[in-house]
Structure 1
């Protein structure tokens, strides 16, 4: 079998239905299978799959296992030579699977592969970048990358517009649409399940590089990402991404870098909370952001509180 498409779902019934419909529209055949791992949804997602998409392999978890662990579950039963990890809030571009089949020989001996991802308004998402460093996270936290636009590319964690016009190497690629050889995925032990949500794709790409492979971006439009994170509640994204970046530093970098990054994020959280509280009367968005960064601040100070916050998403 050529390809296993693996989709993790958590309470995104309507988005998932559109996603699966777009794959079906691309043309299913014996060389492709679809695996959906449902993380304890309570919105009728499982029933929808069982009624409308009976040919799909379904794993129905009783609770939210997290993004990485659920993807690993799917990979264990996958029969395809390649694994395509796809977010449930995406819709596949017409003809993408045919182009992927035609380009299969170009995929040999490569690490993870990412593709063009469109926003709902037709603009392109910026979804590739350099591995996180203290410098680029410092620049990103205080908007130095926007002030010094002509600076070295090492100043950037997310690469800019001109990167996405041609095929080239990239340190990390977005897990919202990510292709990897199944044997390589097994060799690097898949996703690190200690990441409940966010940064697990960066970690996977780092392990691919450690295994001696380069990750590649291909300028082939794969999906439109409707991005459930466009929800007004940014707190999960803010909390999990910052906490998981600290874990990433602790895992791969020197002993001094993780504490420094944590200190940076504490300072950032304090400043963002104060600024949002002061100017929130003029901008509800800033006030909402301030509340999210205050929650982040409490989790940075007390790891126990972060664990409690994570557990609230597993129910």
Structure 2
């Protein structure tokens, strides 16, 4: 297994003065998109003392050389193995000084004054541990930005079509806050790590990110722990960020779910780890059972039909049911994290 030793950064901070914020970008084979991300980031900075860390998880596309040549102001942390999202952010935290930490995906582009507005909000709300902004897709459409904690009932309603059939229902359509007024700041369960501002003290009090999560569910788990400690999490719609989605995940030669811009097997592993850690074995079995049973029903129904589309759906569901079973086995029903990298 690769060593967890963290290599030295390309440069040290010029002095010991704390920055207003520390931006963490975890990159893996995102060279060109990462360059755009950094261009937007530095263009948005208006008088803010900002230190930018890039933790490169052993990219093979010359991302490290690009950053060294084009963005010498960045604090670069090149790794010789892929340590995942949680470990990478924890490594950057150990070297950072900012009063606030900003998680930023390499395929996310902040709009002008987004960071200034987010920091202003955090200063005005001392009980806020974290806040996130309005995430837009590359066509300007609104992407899920204010999130509810996942539950087995919400998963059942979503997978079996009840959330869509009864859209707007306060009972069946509670997967996210899509029926809420998102034009004003509001407290939410969690916000995506695409762009998240976190108070340094709160993150330290929560003992950082749980490193059993290689990718996915890290921010969900963190927000749950923060709120259990009495902190607040907020959605701030005036803070706008464009997100392409899945830039690193698309470079992984595994089962990629384009609808969610995720590697399906990794998502399932983290899902089961999250539920076992926070809610016990019964929650894992319930959550997995909902998804597996849905796929087997889909297999049965499409077995009664003819044609290429029915065959495709049957094959797709068979593979997804298999991924669920593999993830349960790989994680010991959510009790252990598989060897890193996944």
TM-score under structure 2 normalisation? 0.81
For the pair 1:146 / 2:164, whether they are aligned, the reply is yes
Residue 220 of structure 1: CA displacement? 1.6
Q: Distance in 2 between matches of 1:149 and 1:133?
A: 18
Tell me the secondary structure at the aligned position of residue 36 of structure 1. strand
Contact in 2 for aligned 1:203/1:248 (Cα 8 Å):
yes
Contact in 1 for aligned 2:168/2:179 (Cα 8 Å):
no
Tell me the secondary structure at the aligned position of residue 137 of structure 1. helix
For the pair 1:293 / 2:320, whether they are aligned, the reply is yes
Deviates more, 1:284-293 or 1:136-145: 284-293
306, 309, 325: which is aligned to 1:282? 309
Residue 304 of structure 1: CA displacement? 7.0
- Higher fraction of helix: 1
Alignment of 1:149-188 (within 5 A): 149-152=167-170, 155-160=173-178, 162-188=180-206
Contact in 2 for aligned 1:170/1:216 (Cα 8 Å):
yes
For the pair 1:6 / 2:32, whether they are aligned, the reply is no
- Find the counterpart in structure 2 of residue 250 from structure 1: 276
Residue 274 of structure 1: CA displacement? 5.9
Q: Distance in 1 between matches of 2:186 and 2:329?
A: 41
- Find the counterpart in structure 1 of residue 257 from structure 2: 234
Contact in 1 for aligned 2:117/2:239 (Cα 8 Å):
no
Q: Distance in 2 between matches of 1:5 and 1:280?
A: 51
* Shift in alpha-carbon separation, 1:254–1:183, aligned structure 2, 3 A: same
* Shift in alpha-carbon separation, 1:289–1:37, aligned structure 2, 3 A: farther
Q: Distance in 2 between matches of 1:30 and 1:160?
A: 33
For the pair 1:314 / 2:337, whether they are aligned, the reply is no
Deviates more, 1:103-112 or 1:208-217: 103-112
Contact in 2 for aligned 1:127/1:174 (Cα 8 Å):
yes
Tell me the secondary structure at the aligned position of residue 7 of structure 1. strand
Residue 161 of structure 1: CA displacement? 5.2
Residue 269 of structure 1: CA displacement? 3.7
196, 199, 208: which is aligned to 2:217? 199
Q: Distance in 2 between matches of 1:291 and 1:154?
A: 27
Residue 64 of structure 1: CA displacement? 0.9
* Shift in alpha-carbon separation, 1:257–1:59, aligned structure 2, 3 A: same
- Find the counterpart in structure 1 of residue 64 from structure 2: 46
Number of residue pairs aligned between Structure 1 and Structure 2: 313
Structure 2: runs of 5 or more not aligned = 1-18
Deviates more, 1:232-241 or 1:121-130: 232-241
TM-score under structure 1 normalisation? 0.88
Q: Distance in 2 between matches of 1:288 and 1:181?
A: 46
Q: Distance in 2 between matches of 1:273 and 1:114?
A: 39
* Shift in alpha-carbon separation, 1:124–1:297, aligned structure 2, 3 A: same
Structure 1: runs of 5 or more not aligned = none
